[in-house]
Amino acid sequence: MRGPFQNNPKLDPLRVSELETVIKQTGRYNDLFYNDHGFFIGSNNINGLKRHDKISIDGEVLLSSDQFRRISGREEDSSPNMTFSVLTGELDAYGGEICLCGIIDQDFNIIIPAIYDFLYWRVGNWLKVSTDHGIGAVNGLYHLAVPAVYTWIEMDPDTGNFLCQKESGCDLFDENGNLLLASDFTELNLCYSGKGYMAFKTDDIEALEDAYSCSAVDGKYGLLDTNGNEIIPCIYDMIREGHSLRNEVLVMVGDLRKDDLSFDPPNMHYASYTNATGGQWGVLNFNNEFIVPAMYEWIESTWNENCFLVNQGGIMNYSRWDHEDDLWEIIGGKWGMINNDNKVLVPIEYNLTANCRDKILFQCGDHENFDLEMPYFEFILNNPSK
């Protein structure tokens, strides 16, 4: 039996299907999958033992092993390495056989021994691992970067850092497993702009579990850099990201009150705060200085980095459908436009607004939805002096 081979060309799905059919016709294998690195893995039972073969695209058996209960391929094709499981000889509470999981290379050499309950390949070439004590993370070098004691883990694709959450707070590790931050934050989330991490702290954990999202729960927000250092202190009622090209965030201060949490029975697929009042929005730079004072019921970035859409007098309303992002919207009030010096570009006197390519449209009237058949004013975003 000749040894394994390297650097085989990728095969298109149709060719893989054809080869798979030929190998299956031999009747030697109960299960078969293509690794996407030039070989198949086939399994069968021989004399009560589960045997796995590594098979060339020509149908030749290259390697065999009976030490694994199961071998599975990756969802990504960046590596030929595979997960495997073995039986422990113990039974669970339901009488089922208990297995533990690990990682092998394409030559069936063990890279990570079978010590985990579950292994999940994640985007970014890392593994989420699970034990009785919680979940952890194995990095791309197959080193344990995060101990398996957390309830939630996310990797920052830009830095390789791991954002980790457990009951006592949130921690931050770099990709090599060095602890950058140990905190009592309730949640730590990625910023879409890559500027850092949004920190959130609340004492009302029960409400957070019911509401699906921290944005619907009373608490305080701050901002950290990617090393876990504080940029914006965790003292603001809400924080949203500002212009991606500028070091700024949109913050709410005041005495924000979120009332009337209600669920849609019996399935609780929908939650809504009927109003949130008492806070006002402004724009804060990374020196924790207001560049636009907190005086608006809503403020929103536009793709012109010098312009903000603002509302005064409206009421914030929160809603979230199951499997969708949570949503804050403004009901009522008047809309207008300001620049980053808080100079009014469009008077804050319009009832309705709508986005239209490079323009924002403004309209008066007591009708509920924007009507293009009725008079409106347009603000061209690439010409803020208009």
Task: List the pLDDT tens digit at each of the 386 positions of the chain.
Answer: 333 334 455 678 898 899 999 999 989 999 999 988 889 999 998 877 899 999 999 899 999 999 999 998 865 556 788 999 999 889 888 888 899 999 999 999 999 999 999 998 887 678 999 999 999 999 988 999 999 999 999 999 889 999 999 989 999 999 999 999 999 999 999 987 777 899 998 876 554 454 445 555 668 899 999 999 999 999 998 888 887 667 888 898 877 776 655 544 444 445 555 677 778 999 999 999 999 999 999 999 998 888 999 999 998 887 665 545 567 788 899 999 999 999 999 999 999 999 888 899 999 988 888 999 899 999 998 754 44
**Residue for token digits 């809309």?**
335
Backbone torsions φ then ψ of 203, nearest 5 degrees = -95, -10
pLDDT of amino acid 1: 30
Tell me if 337 sits within 8 A of 381, measured CB to CB: no
Residue whose C-alpha is closest to residue 85's, from 67, 66, 97, 99: 99
CB 364 within 8 A of CB 379: no
Question: What is the predicted pLDDT for the residue at 268?
Answer: 46
228, 180 in Cβ contact below 8 A?
yes
Q: How far is CA 358 from CA 8, 322, 361, 379, 384, in A?
A: 49, 32, 10, 9, 11
Residue owning tokens 């069968």: 44
Rg of the chain over CA atoms, in angstroms?
A: 28
Q: Report the pLDDT value the prediction gives residue 2, as an integer from 0 to 100.
A: 30
How far, in Å, CA of 305 to CA of 291, rounded?
A: 13
pLDDT of residue 234: 92
Which pLDDT value is given to residue 235? Answer: 92
Q: Are 224 and 267 in contact (CB under 8 A)?
A: no
Q: Can you list the alpha helix ranges (DSSP code H) found in the chain?
A: 13-24, 205-211
Token pair belonging to 347: 């008077």
pLDDT of residue 273: 58
Report the pLDDT value the prediction gives residue 325, as an integer from 0 to 100: 55
Starting from the edge strand earliest in sequence, which strands make up the sheet with 377-380, in order? 352-356, 359-363, 377-380
Amino acid letter for position 296: Y
Please report, for residues 26, 293, 302, 337, 347, the alpha-carbon distance to residue 343 in angstroms, rounded to integers and kept in the order given. Answer: 77, 11, 15, 9, 10
Pairing relationship of beta strands 315-321 and 270-285 according to DSSP bridges:
antiparallel
Spatial separation of the C-alpha atoms in residues 266 and 247, rounded to whole Å: 44
User: How many Cα atoms occupy the beta-carbon half-sphere of 2 within 13 Å?
Assistant: 6
Residues of the chain by 3-state class (helix, strand, coil), percent to 5: 5, 55, 40
- H/E stretch holding 116 reads strand 110-116
How many Cβ atoms sit within 10 Å of the Cβ of residue 200? 21
pTM: 0.79
